[in-house]
Structure 1
Amino acid sequence: MRIAFIGASHWHLPLYLDPALEIPGVGLAGVSDPDPGAAAALGARLGCPADPDFRALCRRTRPDFVVALGRHADMAEEAEFLIAEGIPFALEKPCGLDAAQVERIARLAEARGAFAAVPLVFRNGDFLALLREEAAAEGAQCMTFRFIAGFPARYRQAGCDWMLDPGPAGGGCTINLAVHFLDICRLLWGPEARPIAAAMSNAAWGHPIEDYSAVTLGRTGSELCLVETGYLYPGPTSTFDMHFAIRTPRRYIVAPDPGTVVLLDPSGRREVRRMHTTNVAHYRTFLRDVLARVRRGAAPLAGLGDMVPVMRMVDAAYALAARSGPFSPRPAAR
């Protein structure tokens, strides 16, 4: 199976490339990036064809599968091309700048019967499976997800300065990090889950994108979920200040670190389970899963249609932040 990577200067490239090269029978069809220097350097390092034009690369090499990365502003265009060419692909989240873009490509993918996966990678792990089991039995009444990543300078160091500009990025930590937890909330609560309040700040770094975001979600009744994300943690890439807590009538569930889940019953009895609780470890599982699904003709675990309601929630969060506070990386009318 031959895989191409487009928009390949994206900082997530190793999360897909490294596990791909470990799979027997998988090879590189080529790499593309709009920066000709980055494309040439990657092609030379990996010993595969390279081209700054992803269309030309795909038409020349005819890959069996494409991992589509790149700027958020370019993702819908990449998807449209791959759908038209009939090439199965995975499109890095958020899949576009807003819900309108993602809805358009989701409709195209559905009409063509395209394999269009989205790495909402918590769906590939045991932690979300545990939460879904608990919520199905008793319901989740209150939830908090705090997920604070490293400084935004890491994007400059990775050659992805565009991440600090709301034009090509669509926003900051909300559109980049919070999407995972908005998806989790919707999976646990259903379509009634919606943002009811949001506040964002760029006080830490002064970039035009938010470096801290607090989004509160609710649904019918008094259930609440708080999603905190940011670029504030003084640590290397893929390390986080994280703490998740979910309360059901039966248990209080806490994820205090990247590998531990603690379940407490009403009497205070503790059960400790070891499992991955951040997104990073799941990209390897995701990549293997999508390739296996393509081989057997199955649908992806999460596709563009699943990303549409998440992006509607993102848009609603930015609109609420613009109305309620002095800072938002998007204008209020958007």
Structure 2
Amino acid sequence: MKIAIFDVSHWHFPLYIPALSDPGVEVVGISDSEAFSGERFAQRLNCKLFDSNEALLEADFDFALVFSRHSRMAGMAKRLIDRGIPFLIEKPCGLNLQEVRRIRQLAERRCVHVSVPFINRVSDWASHLSPSEGFSPEGFQHLSFRFIVGLAGRYERNGNSWMLDKRQAGGGSLLNVGIHFIDLISSLTGALITHVSAQARTFRSDVTVDEQAILTCRNAAGQIGLIETGYLYPSTAEDQRDFAFSISHTSAYARAYADQLYVKARDQKPGRSTTVEFNTDEYYPVFLRRSWADLAEGRAPVAGLREAEHAIAVLEAAYRSAAEGGTPQTVERAT
């Protein structure tokens, strides 16, 4: 499989490299609109660094990875869809709901396979919350997730300062990391989120996206969720984030922190602890390999543009709510 990679300065791109080294995978070229890390990755992958996305589009490849600025994602996706080329595109897939909906509809009309790395869907820890483990979709009563990542300055240091500009990024911590848990709540419960209320704060005067946010939501089944996000953790290489969750289900109560998942059944028996990999970075190559397998077998992606569209609809409702002091908002449904 010949792979083209667009805009490799995105902070997630290095996480995919293990999969790109698999047998039978050839990276034919990369591009770097940010002109930050392209040369380094071209040397590491032993491939050509193209002068622009447009030049790379003319290369011969079978599958693409898209890591462009959020404000440029939809345009890049449209070019690939027009050529009928399957691809993986990082969330949020566009700057707003209108853009994401447009490329979703176009991809469906053209029957182009597009996957979106909502990595929690392929994580070991989420598998412990599946029906096979006794967590039926209808049994969830309350789902609460906290995901606090590194300070806003990390985006400036790694060549992605545009992430702090709402005009380029579309949103901050709630969009960037909260989107994964919006998708997970819908995935675990099997019901789309219908109503939200949110609060958000920004601390740096030169930052125009949220550095802290809290979202409460209710889905079509009446189940309630809570998502707390932030660019607030004093992150280091060995200690990158604060990730924890607690979940109430009719069969059990589950909570997690550090590397421990604790589940206590409703039958009053002693709970059990399991060591689980909660470093979410580990699941990006897993998701990419799953995307290739889905494509090869003719299956729909485990997560794609329709899931991204719903997540963005929830986020836009959340940002409307935050702008109005937390007033509840109805989530727009896909058409």
* CA RMSD, 1 decimal: 2.2
Distance 1:244 1:195 in 2: 21
Following superposition, the deviation at residue 118 of structure 1 comes to: 0.4
Distance 2:215 2:2 in 1: 40
Structure 1 runs (4+) greater than 6 angstroms displaced: none
What is the identity, as a one-letter code, of the residue corresponding to 2:13?
L
Distance 1:221 1:138 in 2: 8
Distance 1:58 1:235 in 2: 36
Following superposition, the deviation at residue 40 of structure 1 comes to: 4.2
What is the identity, as a one-letter code, of the residue corresponding to 2:248?
R
Distance 1:193 1:76 in 2: 24
Where does residue 23 of structure 2 map in the other structure?
24
Where does residue 147 of structure 2 map in the other structure?
147
The 5 Å alignment of 1:1-334 reads 1-21=1-21, 23-36=22-35, 38-60=37-59, 62-133=60-131, 134-136=134-136, 139-203=139-203, 207-219=207-219, 223-236=223-236, 239-257=240-258, 259-266=259-266, 267=268, 269-324=270-325
Find the residue that maps to 2:130 and give its secondary structure: helix
Distance 1:225 1:172 in 2: 20
Q: Is the Cα–Cα contact under 8 Å of residues 137 and 188 in structure 2 kept in the other structure?
A: no
Following superposition, the deviation at residue 298 of structure 1 comes to: 2.8
Distance 1:224 1:45 in 2: 45
Distance change >3 Å, CA 201–CA 15, structure 1 → 2: same
Find the residue that maps to 1:102 and give its secondary structure: helix
279-288 vs 292-301, which moves further:
292-301
What is the identity, as a one-letter code, of the residue corresponding to 1:55?
E
Q: Is the Cα–Cα contact under 8 Å of residues 251 and 265 in structure 1 kept in the other structure?
A: yes
Residues 115-157 of structure 1 deviation map (CA, whole Å, 9 limit, x = unaligned):
1000011111232233232442661111110000011111111
Distance 1:2 1:153 in 2: 35
Distance 2:177 2:227 in 1: 10
Distance 1:137 1:152 in 2: 35
Find the residue that maps to 2:58 and give its secondary structure: helix
Following superposition, the deviation at residue 193 of structure 1 comes to: 2.2
Distance change >3 Å, CA 273–CA 38, structure 1 → 2: closer
Following superposition, the deviation at residue 158 of structure 1 comes to: 0.7
Distance 1:189 1:18 in 2: 32
Find the residue that maps to 1:324 and give its secondary structure: coil
What is the identity, as a one-letter code, of the residue corresponding to 2:106?
L
Distance 1:166 1:248 in 2: 37
Distance 1:66 1:138 in 2: 37
Following superposition, the deviation at residue 209 of structure 1 comes to: 0.9
Scaled by the length of structure 1, the TM-score of the pair is: 0.90
Q: Is the Cα–Cα contact under 8 Å of residues 83 and 108 in structure 1 kept in the other structure?
A: yes
Following superposition, the deviation at residue 102 of structure 1 comes to: 0.8
Following superposition, the deviation at residue 88 of structure 1 comes to: 1.2
Find the residue that maps to 2:324 and give its secondary structure: helix
Distance 2:271 2:87 in 1: 42
262-271 vs 169-178, which moves further:
262-271
Find the residue that maps to 1:281 and give its secondary structure: helix
Distance 1:111 1:151 in 2: 41
Residues 161-185 of structure 1 deviation map (CA, whole Å, 9 limit, x = unaligned):
1011011100100110001100111
Distance 1:268 1:200 in 2: 40
Return 5+ residue gaps in structure 2 as ranges. Answer: 327-335
Find the residue that maps to 1:141 and give its secondary structure: strand
Following superposition, the deviation at residue 19 of structure 1 comes to: 2.7
